[in-house]
Amino acid sequence: MAEPILQVRNLVKRFGGVVAVNNISFEVREGEIMGLIGPNGAGKTTTFNCITGIYTPDEGRIYFMGEDITGLPPHKIALKGIARTWQKTRPFKKMTVLEAVAVGALLRTSNVDKAMRKAEEILKFIGFPEEKINALGKDITLMDHKMVDLARAIATEPKLLLLDEVAAGLRPHEMDRLADVLRKINSEKRITMIVVEHVMRFVMGLSERIVVMHEGQKIAEGRPEEIANNPKVIEAYLGTKPV
């Protein structure tokens, strides 16, 4: 059994009177793809924001490769080896695709030429259309943005990649393509992943293990087929709006 690469222990995050994440704990094992699901407002993105240092948790600890990273600023966490993508893509509109990915690569090198070559390599690896690598961020499609977002994150050479609703807004055949790319990244680059997702089909097919959140708490954890038949999970989803 692989060691946990990430441990989240008793994490709590409040906004004013609202408890967005309420005492959640889970572990991510090295090399796996873990799904993190739950209805709208379950606290998934807040959990991500705590792990990546955008929010400072009110209580609880986060350990990455055995080291306490709770409360570190985002850029230090990125340096430790945690990268993320965004639910709503955050493109660098006035930079070319290649430059945007090179920005990610510059975390591990100061040589721009090297970063450019690595960016090219990564874009090729994830199958980004070659003719578009010199297009500006403002001129490409949503699917392209998702791919650039992903390439930018991989370019920082993370050990753990957090994907926030990466399939949202994509068409079914695009989702399939993306799932293949993610599997390839996971197996060939040896990058562990947490996938926050709304689209059930996508996450069920991709993850080996799933954690379910509801109203800030963990309500279930297990293999996809266990989760699909868990009455608590079904209730949580049916109790709100099923997706």
Q: Please, how many CA atoms are within 13 Å of residue 143, restricted to the half-sphere of its CB?
A: 16
146's CB contacts (< 8 A; 6+ apart) are 85, 89, 166, 170, 178
Nearer to other proteins, 71 or 73 (CB): 73
- x/- site string to other proteins, residues 106 to 125, per CB under 8 A? xx--xxxx-x----------
Options 17-25, 76-84, 165-173, 225-233: segment touching other proteins (CB under 8 A)? 76-84
Q: Which of 12, 19, 95, 142 binds other proteins (CB under 8 A)?
A: 95
Does residue 145 interact with other proteins by CB under 8 A? no
Is the separation of the CB atoms in 144 and 128 below 8 Å? Answer: yes
Does residue 223 interact with other proteins by CB under 8 A? no
Options 37-45, 68-76, 172-180, 208-216: segment touching other proteins (CB under 8 A)? 68-76
Comparing CA positions, the residue from 192, 212, 218 lying closest to residue 4 is 192
Does residue 52 interact with other proteins by CB under 8 A? yes
Q: Which of 71, 73, 129, 242 binds other proteins (CB under 8 A)?
A: 73
Nearer to other proteins, 65 or 95 (CB): 95
Residue 48 sits at the vertex; the CA angle it makes with 45 and 51, to the nearest 5 degrees, is: 155
* Cβ at position 95, least distance to other proteins in Å: 6
Nearer to other proteins, 156 or 186 (CB): 156
Residue 155 CA from chain centroid, whole number: 14
Is the separation of the CB atoms in 150 and 166 below 8 Å? Answer: yes
Does residue 74 interact with other proteins by CB under 8 A? yes
What is the rounded (10 degree) CA torsion for 193, 151, 159, 205?
20
* Cβ at position 210, least distance to other proteins in Å: 24
CA distance 203 to 91: 24
Pairing of strands 59-64, 160-164: unpaired
Is the separation of the CB atoms in 43 and 213 below 8 Å? Answer: yes
Comparing CA positions, the residue from 202, 209, 196 lying closest to residue 179 is 202
Does residue 13 interact with other proteins by CB under 8 A? no
Does residue 90 interact with other proteins by CB under 8 A? yes
Nearer to other proteins, 78 or 236 (CB): 78
* Cβ at position 222, least distance to other proteins in Å: 30
Nearer to other proteins, 102 or 167 (CB): 102
